[in-house]
RNA sequence: GCCCCCAUAGCUCAGGUGGAUAGAGCACCGGAUUCCUAAUCCGGGUGCCGCGUGUUCGAGUCGCGCUGGGGGCACCA
């Protein structure tokens, strides 16, 4: 509807511009928005104030001219000028009724947009190192990434999800040593404090037990020195494979799946890292200094240059990441979205620099930084991580509060804000819990629809009603809220802000609950009942669309 | 020291490309069920939008400076 109104305004402004002798091509973008106060009408525009600057005239006088044009539009029932020069417009009520029918007719396709124009997007997220189980912070990244992917898909992008497995580098060596130490501990050949820098989590002890049960007690000589590499590769890959398997299970439990799992190691073994460096060499953005090879990222906005090959000849993580992102573009993606923990923010400029150096457009790469999650239980903070390496895992959280609540909670805040996750609140089955609020709205409507069905209260099909008896303000508000979904989805996709969905859902549920308490749907008046059923069926449909986008279930009974 | 993020009601937080009287939930108090699910609804009040300054018709929103909190500043990943 907004687009429709924008067209009216645009055409009116063009006419006025012509009459005043201004070019119709040189106009500011027409902004149409929902007025703050309902009393002002359905839509409003500040175009007269925008034009006042260019045309050097009083905004109210310009507004009068535009208003005169808009009044010729038969679909508008009222047009007024208010305040400093806002033009407020009210649509003919029958248009809203038509719109309701239209939305209902679209069924689950309502809100499928072509905004993305089939551009290919790769959303890379979680990508936790396979050195330990996922914790709650990874859960937030997983929820944000997965819902963003769903959102982009719905708004017309072609989307793939990817998990980048950091299975190369020092940390893998350390992981192998840590597991080997635990294994020897079980053989009573290691005692006391775990060596400095090793992974300390209990999960490695569990893995060592599993390893011993499956493979026996003679994998390595008990007398092996810590710095000795004997059998280390075996321990490393056993640990990495097991942990990665656990991560996959946790994500599956959380309802998150990936099209691709990409291995960092393969970028080294396949020569892609060398190829990427060679390309940078050709572009003359690499240089040697103090025995190392540097990428001149400061030429592309980074604060200083970065090492890609160390003096000892070993390539850095940054080097493989350049190769990785180069490869993403080579795979045909138009837009790369990476979701990282906020502690990686210093990394954004250098990777952007590399992408730019390789010829990528600046807006073809976006990094979403997800802030920390602090966990509490009934208001009391729960320690996230201690020196012993113990923390609350994602699996524990999902098992305790459920997938729906966990996913929903992770999306109740802008990624940029810290999130406090309270386990008791997420578990509670009362009105404190926003997840159930939205789901309950859905279940309530389903209950009415069931009642109609079972008792045969309505002998006509719901979609044969016109909606014409829906004239209460709260009925029109509901229709307007439904109508605004595509606009919301487009904005959420444009700004890469999936959390907007939970706010929309909460608003819609509030309106529904309020209406439900004030008005009866089923009554003796056939037309009124039918129209209200049409409204409710459509609200249900939109609730289900939003819940599904969040990866949260839409229960028919609660 | 430099860089990034945050700062809005008692608490947790929303606030579109700058627009009309800055919102919600929680907490607190009171009320609603002969009738479609009370996991619901209705009513009650609260703000130097951290401070200062600039830009302009207009700033919670944009610029600059400051204060406070978090994070980052590796030839780690």
pLDDT of residue A427: 83
Q: What is the pLDDT of residue A386?
A: 46
- Taking the mean position of all CA atoms in its chain, how far away is CA A443? 25
Does A440 contact strand B, using a CB cutoff of 7 Å?
yes
First to last CA, chain A: 34
Task: List, in order, residues 6 or more apart from A470 with CB less than 8 Å away.
Answer: A96, A97, A100, A476, A479, A531, A532, A535
Question: What pLDDT does residue A50 have?
Answer: 85
Predicted confidence (pLDDT) at residue A461 exceeds the cutoff of 70: yes
Contact (CB, 8 A) for A253 and A403: yes
Chain A residues 68-87 with Cβ under 7 Å of strand B are: 82-84, 86
- Provide mean pLDDT across the span A507-519: 93
- Between CA A153 and CA A551 the distance in angstroms is 13
A320-353 pLDDT, tens digit per residue, is: 999 999 999 999 999 999 999 888 888 999 999 9
Contact A413, A422 (CB under 8 A): no
If you search the block for the tokens 């089923």, which residue do you land on? A522
pLDDT of residue A390: 52
The pLDDT tens digits for A137-173 are 899 999 999 999 999 999 999 999 999 999 988 889 9
| Residue A548: pLDDT band with limits 50, 70, 90 | very high
Tokens of A163: 């998990």
Higher pLDDT pick, A404 / A416 = A404
Confidence grade of residue A25 (pLDDT, cut at 50, 70, 90): confident
SS3 of chain A: helix, strand, coil, percent, to 5: 55, 15, 35
Confidence of residue A500 (pLDDT cuts 50, 70, 90): very high
Q: What is the mean pLDDT of residues A524-551?
A: 93
- Residue A375: both structure tokens together: 């966990």
Following DSSP, what letter does each residue of A315-361 receive, concatenated?
Answer: BPHHHHHHHHHHHHHHTT-SEEEEEEEGGGGGGHHHHHHHHHHTT--
Contact call for residues A487 and A525 (beta carbons, < 8 A): no
Map tokens 């950091």 to a residue.
Answer: A166
Strand partners, A247: none
| Percent of chain A surpassing pLDDT 70 | 98
Contact by Cβ (8 Å): A324, A264: yes
What is the structure's pLDDT at A27? 78
Dump pLDDT digits (tens) for A40-84.
Answer: 889 999 898 888 877 878 888 889 999 999 999 999 999 999 888
Tokens representing A103 are: 């939305």
Contact A267, A324 (CB under 8 A): yes
Residue nearest to nucleotide B6 (CA to C1'): A417
Tokens of A304: 């200083």
- Can you tell me the distance from the alpha carbon of A169 to that of A311, in angstroms, rounded to the nearest whole number? 16
Give the C-alpha separation, A462 to A452, whole Å.
10
For residue A295, pLDDT beyond 90 = yes
Q: Kindly indicate the confidence band of residue A421, based on its pLDDT and cuts at 50, 70 and 90.
A: confident
**What's chain A's length in residues?**
558
A347 touches strand B (CB under 7 A): yes
Nearest protein residue, CA measured to C1' of B22: A36
CB-contacted nucleotides of strand B (7 Å):
2-7, 12-17, 19-21, 23-27, 32, 35-42, 57, 70-77
pLDDT above 90: residue A508: yes
Distance CA A226, CA A203 (A): 20
Q: What is the predicted pLDDT for the residue at A387?
A: 45
Q: According to the model, what pLDDT value does residue A67 have?
A: 93
Q: Is the pLDDT of residue A389 over 70?
A: no
Would the Cβ of A437 be found within 7 angstroms of any atom in strand B?
Answer: yes
Q: Report chain A's C-alpha Rg in angstroms.
A: 29
Q: A431 falls in which pLDDT band (50, 70, 90)?
A: low
**CA separation for the pair A355, A184 (Å, rounded):** 45
A385 has pLDDT over 60 = no
Q: Are A13 and A66 in contact (CB under 8 A)?
A: yes
CB < 7 A to strand B: residues 178-217, chain A: none
| Selected residue with higher pLDDT from A109 and A40 | A109
**Is pLDDT at A204 greater than 90 in this prediction?**
yes
- Report which of A306, A311, A395 is spatially closest to residue A352, judged by C-alpha positions: A306
Q: Which residues, listed in sequence order, are joined to residue A260 by a DSSP beta bridge?
A: A162
Residue A187 is classified by DSSP as T
Scanning A340-433, the segments in alpha helix (DSSP H) are: 348-357, 394-401, 403-410, 423-427
> Å between A411 CA and B69 C1'?
23
10 Å CB burial of residue A346 (0-12, 13-18, 19+) is: exposed
| A366 close to A496: Cβ distance less than 8 angstroms | yes
Q: With a 7 Å cutoff on the CB, does A443 touch strand B?
A: yes
Burial class (CB in 10 A: 0-12, 13-18, 19+), A314: exposed
Tell me the C-alpha distance between A551 and A160, whole Å: 16
Tokens of A361: 């457009």
ipTM of the complex: 0.92
Average pLDDT over residues A277-306: 93
Contacts of A208 (CB under 8 A, 6+ apart): A179, A182, A183, A185, A186
Please tell me whether residue A289 adopts helix, strand or coil conformation.
Answer: strand
Q: What is the pLDDT of residue A84?
A: 81
pTM > 0.90: yes or no: yes
Question: Is the CB of residue A118 less than 8 Å from the CB of residue A352?
Answer: no
Asked whether residue A283's C-beta has any atom of DNA/RNA strand B within 7 A, the reply is no
- Is the CB atom of residue A472 positioned under 7 angstroms from any atom of strand B? no
Q: Answer for A429: CB within 7 Å of strand B.
A: yes
Q: Which nucleotide is nearest to A536 (CA to C1')?
A: B36
- Look up residue A360 and give its two tokens: 């990528």
């Amino acid at each position: 509807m907004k687009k429709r109104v924008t067209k009216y305004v645009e055409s009116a402004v063009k006419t006025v511009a012509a009459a005043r002798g201004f070019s119709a091509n040189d106009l500011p973008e027409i902004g149409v928005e929902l007025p703050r106060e309902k009393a002002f009408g359905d839509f409003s525009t500040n175009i007269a104030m925008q034009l006042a600057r260019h045309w050097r005239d009083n905004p109210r006088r310009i507004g009068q001219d535009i208003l005169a044009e808009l009044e010729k539009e038969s679909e508008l029932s009222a047009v007024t000028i208010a305040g400093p020069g806002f033009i407020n417009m009210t649509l003919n009520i029958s248009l809203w009724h038509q719109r309701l029918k239209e939305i209902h007719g679209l069924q689950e396709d309502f809100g499928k947009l072509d905004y993305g124009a089939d551009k290919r997007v790769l959303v890379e997220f979680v990508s936790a190192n396979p050195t330990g189980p996922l914790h709650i912070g990874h859960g937030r990244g997983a929820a944000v990434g997965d819902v963003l992917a769903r959102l982009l898909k719905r708004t017309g992008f072609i989307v793939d999800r990817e998990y980048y497995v950091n299975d190369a580098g020092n940390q893998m060596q350390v992981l192998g040593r840590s597991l080997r130490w635990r294994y020897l501990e079980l053989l009573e050949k290691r005692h006391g404090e775990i060596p400095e820098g090793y992974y300390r989590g209990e999960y490695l002890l569990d893995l060592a037990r599993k390893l011993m049960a499956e493979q026996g007690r003679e994998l390595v000589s008990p007398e092996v020195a810590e710095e000795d590499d004997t059998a280390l590769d075996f321990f490393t890959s056993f640990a990495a494979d097991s942990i990665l398997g656990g991560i996959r299970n946790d994500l599956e439990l959380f309802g998150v799946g990936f099209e691709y799992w990409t291995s960092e190691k393969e970028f080294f073994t396949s020569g892609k890292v060398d190829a990427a460096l060679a390309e940078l060499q050709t572009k003359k953005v690499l240089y040697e200094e103090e025995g190392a090879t540097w990428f001149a990222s400061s030429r592309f906005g980074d604060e200083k240059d970065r090492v890609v090959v160390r003096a000892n000849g070993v390539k850095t993580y940054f080097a493989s990441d350049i190769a990785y992102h180069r490869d993403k573009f080579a795979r045909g993606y138009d837009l790369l979205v990476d979701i990282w923990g906020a502690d990686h923010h210093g990394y954004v400029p250098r990777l952007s620099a590399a992408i730019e150096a390789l010829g990528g457009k600046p807006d073809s790469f976006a990094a979403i930084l997800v802030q920390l999650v602090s966990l509490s239980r009934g208001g009391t903070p729960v320690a996230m991580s201690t020196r012993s390496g113990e923390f609350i895992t994602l699996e524990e959280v999902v098992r305790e509060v459920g997938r729906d609540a966990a996913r929903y909670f992770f999306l109740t805040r802008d990624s940029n804000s810290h999130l406090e996750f309270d386990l008791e609140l997420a578990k509670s089955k009362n009105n404190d819990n926003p997840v159930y609020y939205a789901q309950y709205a859905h279940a309530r409507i389903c209950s009415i629809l069931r009642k109609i069905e079972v008792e045969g209260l309505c002998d006509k099909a719901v979609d044969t009603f016109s909606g014409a008896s829906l004239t209460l303000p709260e009925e029109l508000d509901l229709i307007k809220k439904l109508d605004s979904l595509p606009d919301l989805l487009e904005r959420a996709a444009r700004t890469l802000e999936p959390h907007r969905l939970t706010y929309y859902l909460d608003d819609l549920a509030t309106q529904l609950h309020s209406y439900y308490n004030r008005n009866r749907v089923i009554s003796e008046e056939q037309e009124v009942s039918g129209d209200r059923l049409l409204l409710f069926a459509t609200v249900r449909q939109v609730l289900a669309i939003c819940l599904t986008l969040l990866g949260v279930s839409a229960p028919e009974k609660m």
